[in-house]
Each structure stands twice: as structure tokens, then as C-alpha cells.
Structure 1
Amino acid sequence: MKQSILLVITVIIIVSCNSDKKPPFQLPENYTKIIAGDSAKTWKLARRYNNKTRMNMGDCFLSYRATYLDHGIMYDNNGEHEDCGGTLTANWSIYHSKDNYPYIKLKGEKLKELMNLDNDYKFFKILNLNDTLMILEFKHKQFSSKETTLVDIFVSENIAIKDRAFHW
């Protein structure tokens, strides 16, 4: 119950603030262990916001899992589910921008195809990170040439999240 309340409060604070004006999130020293556990850690998508609007999560979002390995590889499970796209496998690393914002950088050939990119890499700004919560922000061109800002809220795979599949 406390984790759910903390998650809701964190989401409200992050979504209601303009992340570009916030100071950079300070990564904990043990960020690799937080992201990848002792050898591997799986995160599930708890919520997604598109330009600060909460998105309804269909089957593909509800089943989505991203696993990070401590030796710098990540993969997702999209390919295991019908009509959810191919599985992404990529190298992951931490990158800091000139103004010290932390990012997870994913690099792999599949990114070009799966995210419709010209490059084989993508940066995901880290807005928050702890043992049970990882919040990432990124820009994406979804179905048009218009770019949108997405915020993905991940939780450890074993955490129960209420109201993940809501309908308007």
C-alpha cells in the first residue's frame, strides 16, 4: 500500500512539473545494481504518459517487460506476444548530458526498425530511480512527423500496480 501511494505521489509530482526546468536527477552510486540487480532485473511498465496525458494501456503495454543485465545488455519481451512487435535487444549504458542530466543510452540495430530511427541508439532521460521505481522520459515520433514526449514509469516486476488498465 505504501509503495502504491509513493508511486502515485511521485508520478503526480513528475507529470505536473516541467522536467526541462527541474534540476538533474542525481543517480545513486549503485545505479547499475538498481537497474540490473545482482545479474539481471526485470521491470514492468506501470504507467505511460504522452505529453503529460496518461495513456490507456492495452495488452502489449500490460505485458511489456524490460530486462537489464549487469553486463550492459537489455532486452524486452515484445516478440513473445502477438501483435506487439519484435523483441528489442540492445546495449545499455549511462550517459550524462553537458548539463548533467542522466540518461540510459540504448544502442542496437533493432532500435532503428522498432522505433523508426535513423540512428542505432536512443537516449532515455532518467527522472527517478530507486530499487522499485524507474521513470524514463524520451522524445518519439509515433504515427506522424510530430514529436511527442513520453514518460514511462517502470516498477520492479513483482510489484502489483492497481488501475494499470483503465478506460476513458
Structure 2
Amino acid sequence: MLLLGLFCGCTHTETVVYTPPQNIETLIAGDSTKVWKLAKRFNGATRMNMEGCFMSYRQSFTRSKTVSDTNGLHKNCGESVVGQWEITADSIGHHYIKIKSDQYPSLLNQPQDFKLFKILYASQDSLQLSFVHNQFGTRRRITDLLVREDLVVEDRNFHH
């Protein structure tokens, strides 16, 4: 019986479902436009180095549901993504920012024209999102902590 328990590995893991506030769209886009900057990024549980393009990256969300980033404004940071955003939820109740852009199939080498960013936390000042990055496979998730552009973040320019 003990062997059966060892081989079965019967562990039950519950997924914590974050329910965003009712005013989630206002938290994301403000009254008209809100600009977010990357404060920290994690690959799984490992904090990633922040320099260059990570430091200059800004993402703007508008109340009219457009979204754009600043990559194209900076040398060697790639193309800026412009698209439409919406809040969506899956059958479990996880909420996502769904960004739809005609650029995604070629930029991300994927057939879909959208990308889902799971909302882990949202407030007036910060937004924590998790997403799958094709470069790291489909099992490991990248987690970004975004903050309002005007906030000062200590240790933002992080290096191992």
C-alpha cells in the first residue's frame, strides 16, 4: 500500500484565483491613458537582469482599448506592438488582459493574433502579470511587475 502511495504521487494542488477589482479597466488605463514601466521580471522563480530595453520599455493602455509599447523608439529593442486590449476570463475564473494585434503572428511566430496576460494583482500603482514566453517553452511562465511610469523603483536596474 505504501508503494502505491509513492508511485501515485496523489497530490492535490489548488490554483489560487485572483479576482480583480470591479474598476480593473480604470486601474489599467486610468481616466484616459496610463503608462506602465517594467519594475521587475521573473522567469519562473528566478529574477531576470534588467538593463537596456527592459529599462526603457513602456506600455500605454487607453480607455478606448488601444495599447502600444515603446520598443520601436529605442535602438535594438525590436518593433513596437500596437493593438487592442480587453479583459477576459477563463472557465476557472482567472482574469487576463487579452492583447490583440496583427503583429503577433510574425513577431511571436504563432498563428494567433492575440496574447493573454494573466492578472495576478492590480492596483492604482502596480500590475502583476504572468504569461507564457515561447522562448522558454509552454511550462515556465514569465511574471512581470509593472508600475506607473512616474514611480521610483529601488533596485530596478538589477543584475545577478
Residue type of the partner of 1:139? V
Residue type of the partner of 2:147? V
Partner of residue 95, structure 2: 102
Partner of residue 119, structure 1: 112
Is 1:158 the counterpart of 2:150? The answer is yes
Alignment RMSD, CA only?
A: 1.3
Partner of residue 37, structure 1: 30
The alpha carbon displacement at 1:82 in A equals 0.2
- Structure 2: give runs of 5+ residues left out of the alignment: 1-12
The alpha carbon displacement at 1:34 in A equals 0.6
The alpha carbon displacement at 1:68 in A equals 0.1
- Which secondary structure state, in structure 2, belongs to the residue aligned with residue 122 of structure 1? strand
Residue type of the partner of 1:163? D
CA distance in 2, matches of 1:22, 1:159: 31
Partner of residue 141, structure 2: 149
Q: How many residues are matched?
A: 147
Asked if 2 retains the 8 angstrom alpha-carbon contact of 1:126 and 1:137, the reply is yes
CA distance in 2, matches of 1:21, 1:104: 22
Partner of residue 24, structure 1: 17
Change over 3 Å in CA distance of 1:21–1:63 after alignment to 2: farther
Asked if 2 retains the 8 angstrom alpha-carbon contact of 1:136 and 1:152, the reply is yes
CA distance in 2, matches of 1:46, 1:22: 25
Residue type of the partner of 2:44? N
Q: Among all aligned residue pairs of Structure 1 and Structure 2, give the percentage whose two residues are the same amino acid.
A: 37
The alpha carbon displacement at 1:110 in A equals 1.1
- Structure 1: give runs of 5+ residues left out of the alignment: 1-19
The alpha carbon displacement at 1:26 in A equals 1.1
CA distance in 1, matches of 2:23, 2:42: 27
The equivalences for 1:33-112 within 5 A come to 33-112=26-105
Asked if 2 retains the 8 angstrom alpha-carbon contact of 1:25 and 1:127, the reply is yes
The alpha carbon displacement at 1:154 in A equals 0.1
Asked if 1 retains the 8 angstrom alpha-carbon contact of 2:67 and 2:82, the reply is yes
CA distance in 1, matches of 2:68, 2:100: 11
